[in-house]
Amino acid sequence: MSALAFSSRRPIYRISTPTEQAYGKFRHLLRDAVERTAEENRQRIGVLLDKVPRIECASKFRNLGYASE
């Protein structure tokens, strides 16, 4: 009789769109912030969005085939 081995590891989820990639990075940065009120979060979001370099955004689109040559 063969036994099936079950893993407790979750399946790997590949982020497939530039929007999902950007949101994943943004969510990670927001979780590290200490702000917890709505106004503090709104201000932190503005600061975090300003920190994302335009070249990084462009490279995400290019790597996924969305950018024109």
Based on the structure, what is the number of domains in the chain?
A: 1
In a domain, 11, yes or no: no
In a domain, 69, yes or no: no
Q: Is the full-model pTM beyond 0.75? A: no
Task: Write the Ramachandran bin of 48: left for phi over 0, alpha for psi from -120 to 50, otherwise beta.
Answer: alpha
In a domain, 12, yes or no: no
The whole-number pLDDT of residue 8 equals 60
pLDDT tens digits along 35-60 = 778 898 888 888 888 888 888 878 87
Q: Which residues lie below 8 Å from residue 66, measured CB to CB, with a gap of 6+?
A: 18
In a domain, 54, yes or no: yes
In a domain, 58, yes or no: yes
- 35 contacts 43 by C-beta, under 8 angstroms: yes
Task: Write the Ramachandran bin of 10: left for phi over 0, alpha for psi from -120 to 50, otherwise beta.
Answer: beta
What's the CA gap between 36 and 69, in Å, rounded? 43
Q: Which domain holds residue 53?
A: 18-63
